[in-house]
Structure 1
Amino acid sequence: MSAPSVSPVLPGSGLGRAVEVYDFRRPTTLAREHSRVLELAFETFARQWGTLLTTNIRAGSAVVAENVKMVTYDEYAASLPAATAMVLCEVEGQEAKGVIQFPTEAALFWITRMLGGSPVVPLPNRKFTLIEQSLVKRLMDDALEDLQYSFGSLLSAAPTVHGIHFNSQFAQAAATNTLMIVADLSVTVGEHTWAATVALPAESLLKQMGSNSPRSDRAAAPAQMRAQVSRVPVDVELSIGPVAVRPRVILNLAVGDVVLLEHAVGRPFELALAGESVARAVGVTHGSRQAGQIVSIEESAP
């Protein structure tokens, strides 16, 4: 027979806060400091790219960075449409390449505006002609200059256009398990809006940001894990040991019956966590509530 569970009131409990699921299959995540630095860099690039589009296609344009995350290249490629424009960007000294991705429809719209036309949407989803590729490459050359300006010392060298691909499943910018920093962008020109992404190899960026990487200090990992786990709420219960009775005792229970539990009056109760005894305590009152005062700790308790 168990006494009522002792559940301490935690600050902020019951507020219905959203819980983010942690994926143990991919334990590497962006440190908060790194995340903010990268968000500022991508936001600067988005503003610069919006100004660049406005100047080149002579139409009011705006680019907004909406989300920054770190995923493997395989996950990134799988999230893209099968048919899309992927501009691979090469940085000297790096094997993995960066990617600027946007719908081919968007690029054809920009090209038509650059040539003085009035595009009619929806435009066909197709590969670019040689002339169109040259115009897109010119746009991307200017965009990569803005990217280098926005990231500053985070980019070890100036990125250059390596090529343009039109199938996200065949454009191998990096190995499948390479970690990429990916920013989701929203590109708006007049009344038209397209989703775009920018992906950069994470290793070089995190290296440039110093030793705050979550993987850089292995010795601190146990302490960080313990500190995180110590803030997780758990349920404990104060109880006496079980006692064996015959079924007829339970079947014939009535109000007012007394069930002998064979627990000495001065014997402490067991404080258990998930069924495991961690301490012993005596019942006390704390204001208007019942509580347990610890009198000993089990040797096997963590």
Structure 2
Amino acid sequence: MPVLSPASALPESRASQVLEVYDFRRPTTLAREHSRVLELAFETFARQWGTQLTTKIRSASTVITDQVTMASYDEYAASLPATTAMVLFSLDGKESKGVIQFPVEAALVWVTRMLGGSTTAPVPDRKFTQIEHALVQRLMEEALEDLRYSFGSLLVEAPAVDGIHFNSQFAQAAATNTLMIVAGFTVRMSERSWRATIALPAEVLVQQLGSSNPLSDTAAAPAQLRAQLGGVPVDVALALTPVPVTPDTILNLAVGDVLNLPHPTSRPFDLTVGGKPIACAIGVTRGSRKAGQIVTTEETNP
């Protein structure tokens, strides 16, 4: 007789899995296949960008991808510092623009290193001078070339720098409800590190993702749903036939009282899931624990 173990039914890796809250008010999300393609593209860009920074500023730099998410432009802008460098760039002639965002301090450190200066002194929080603006723009133009290379066929045309802004609330790259693909990065240079982000209009990428990386056949959806539901943990119990009692009886229960149940001694227990009986089982002993041996099953309507 096979032994059903709770440990085997629910692996520890799944039991400790952190669940993410799903917002049904905005069901638009990235398919898993598409999300992985974008993660690989952004990881490739991070390596390219880190190499470019190392070459330009003559100091070892690394860029690490943190996460890739989808959010509205309003949510993305609200997550940024009030004062920050935002490089807006056009994509494939679309009205919505992409964004490369990084702290002003990081850009000023890069420029100082490019000009041979020292970065040990405190960096002021200010807008760029004309020379700094030109150097940062050139640096971003080369970064956009790396972005185009990393995304391959997902970006039909090369992105072009449209402008540099310093206020995240005033730099309107897209309409507030426009969905954006947002990637977070950690940029490290020596002992310094900064948080950077890239936001791309979802409309630019989703269509290309659908044609170059088609999703699974919709005809397979029922089988995939059944397979997914088959791994969802549920609570099962062996139950006696219930007996109706009054609240007065419950409130007056005391140690030693006997509550008669209408369950014959010859009848197996009910095996229930969520209070619904699905089978009958008899009580047995398995080692030092009690167990239930299935004797009959019954068909239930969903």
TM-score in same-fold range (> 0.5): yes
Partner of 1:291: 292
Q: Give the match for residue 3 of structure 1.
A: none
Shift of 1:147: 0.9
Aligned-partner Cα distance in 2 for 1:249–1:83: 64
Question: What is the CA distance between 1:8 and its match in structure 2?
Answer: 3.5
- The amino acid of 2:66's aligned partner reads E
Aligned to 2:181: 181
Partner Cα distance (1:161, 1:44) in 2 = 20
Change (3 A) 1:115 1:262: closer
Residues 159 and 150 of structure 1: is their aligned pair in 2 closer, same or farther, counting only changes over 3 Å? Answer: same
Deviates more, 1:103-112 or 1:40-49: 40-49
Whole-Å Cα distance in 2 between the matches of residues 146 and 30 of structure 1? 24
SS in 2 for 1:77: helix
When normalised by structure 1's length, the TM-score is 0.81
- The residue that corresponds to 1:203 in the other structure is 203
**In the alignment, is the contact (CA less than 8 A) between 2:10 and 2:233 conserved in 1?**
no
| Structure 2: distance between partners of 1:15 and 1:30 | 22
CA deviation map 1:34-79 (0-9, x unaligned): 3333222222222222222233233332222232223332222222
Name stretches of at least 5 consecutive residues in structure 2 with no aligned partner: none
Between stretches 281-290 and 115-124, larger displacement belongs to: 281-290
* SS state at 1:242 partner: coil
Question: Alpha-carbon deviations, 1:83-121, whole Å to 9, x = none?
Answer: 000101111232321111111111112222223332444
1:7/1:236 contact within 8 Å kept: no
CA distance 1:224–1:15, change in 2 (3 Å)? closer
Stretch moving more, 128-137 or 31-40: 31-40
Q: Structure 1: where are the runs of 5+ without partners? A: 1-5
- The RMSD of aligned alpha carbons is 3.2
Partner of 2:240: 240
CA distance in 1, matches of 2:230, 2:97: 40
Counterpart CA distance in 2 for 1:51 and 1:263 is 75
> SS of the residue aligned with 2:12?
coil
Shift of 1:13: 3.3
Cα distance in structure 1, aligned partners of 2:89 and 2:183? 15
Deviation for aligned residue 1:291: 1.0
Aligned length: 292
Q: What secondary structure, in the 3-state scheme, does the structure 1 residue paired with 2:199 have? A: strand
Percent of residue pairs identical = 58
Higher relative contact order (CA 8 A, sep 6+): 1
User: 1:131 corresponds to which letter in structure 2?
Assistant: I
- The corresponding residue for 1:84 is 84
Task: Name the CA distance, whole Å, in 2 between partners of 1:221 and 1:109.
Answer: 52
- Contact between 1:284 and 1:293, CA under 8 Å: does it hold in 2? no
**Match of 2:99, as an amino acid?**
V
TM-score w.r.t. the length of structure 2 is: 0.81
Corresponding residue of 1:61: 61
